[in-house]
Amino acid sequence: MSLATKDPDIAPEDIDLLLLIERCILFFRKFRWIFIIAIILGLSLGIFVYSALPRIYRSRLIIHSFTLTNQEQIQILNNWNSLLKNKEYAELATTLHCSEKILHQLKQMKAEEIQKVFSSENPHGFTIEVNVTDNSILDELQNGIVFGFENSVYIKQRLALKRADLQVLIDKTSTEIKKLDSTKKIMEDIIGGKEKISSSLIIDGSSINRQLIEMNEKLLSFKGELKFTNAVQVLQGFSKFQKPVGPKLIPWLIIGLLFFLSLAYVYALFSSINQKLKARKHAVRGLK
């Protein structure tokens, strides 16, 4: 008697679904040891690959650009990253003025603006994120990145011109300060009676002091500008984190399981088909 006659309330679709589930359960039960072995091998493979892969550490550098726009500097770094991907270590080492050895530990460089608003002169800095397999290279890598930004022909010419202009301003301001100091000394000598005042000489002491303060402030400002006249300024250097960001264990376990379970399923499927073909062949021979 069929299932349909036993329970008339069960639809044919339900019967087909129940049969499908039953066959799946019987299939996996029949080949359970193959799937158990596949699970063990898959987990073992995932753990092995995870243990064999180098640990990846991520760090971030915050930089402010003084000569080029952020987008121009970011494009330069993207070009360096292309060299890195293509394993052009010699060319990149020359550009960054660093050893090729550290570049083998560098896996990726990525730059991004802090404030993503288009402006021809964006006053905000940008970040450089790197993935490395060894934290000890970060100091040398940071120096190399700064060197690379500052030592193109165009940037060097711009910086040289700016430094020369600032030096001229410093020299002129220093000369004016000396003149004001000399005038102030004359005024003090007149007040002290050491020198007679000329009828044509009119001196405002408060004005001289104010001018001296202003000129000294300008001098300090120019000297500060000269000291920090660079293509880029590091606002925050790379931090050496001890906790790696990769690889992750779970994804490799899943990959290992999927790989071996797929092989186990294919093997079990072909084995099941082969057994059914043999059984049908024997049945046909029996009928003959």
pLDDT digits (tens, 9 = 90+) for 29-66: 889 999 999 999 999 999 999 999 999 999 999 998 87
CA distance 149 to 88: 18
Where do the H-state alpha helices sit in the chain? Answer: 3-6, 12-30, 32-52, 70-85, 89-96, 100-104, 138-150, 153-191, 205-227, 249-287
* 108 in Cβ contact with 81 (< 8 Å): yes
> DSSP state, 125?
-
Q: Is 281 a domain residue?
A: no
- Count CB atoms within 10 A of the CB of residue 218: 16
48 and 33 within one domain = yes
User: In 3-state terms, what secondary structure has residue 99?
Assistant: coil
Q: Is the pLDDT of residue 93 over 80?
A: yes
What pTM does this model have? 0.70
| pLDDT > 90: percent of the chain | 50
140 and 89 within one domain = yes
Report residue 26's pLDDT band, with 50, 70 and 90 as the boundaries.
confident
Range of the domain at 18: 3-52+247-271
- Count CB atoms within 10 A of the CB of residue 151: 14
What pLDDT does 4 receive?
43
- Count CB atoms within 10 A of the CB of residue 107: 17
Task: Please indicate whether residue 27 or residue 138 has the higher confidence score (pLDDT).
Answer: 138
Which residue do the tokens 């970011």 mark? 74
146 and 89 within one domain = yes
199 and 170 within one domain = yes
88 and 29 within one domain = no
Long-range contacts of 182-187 (CB under 8 A, 24+ apart): 183/208, 184/208, 184/209, 184/212
Which residue do the tokens 């009119």 mark? 202
Q: Going by DSSP bridges, is the β-strand pair 57-65/232-236 parallel, antiparallel, or unpaired?
A: antiparallel
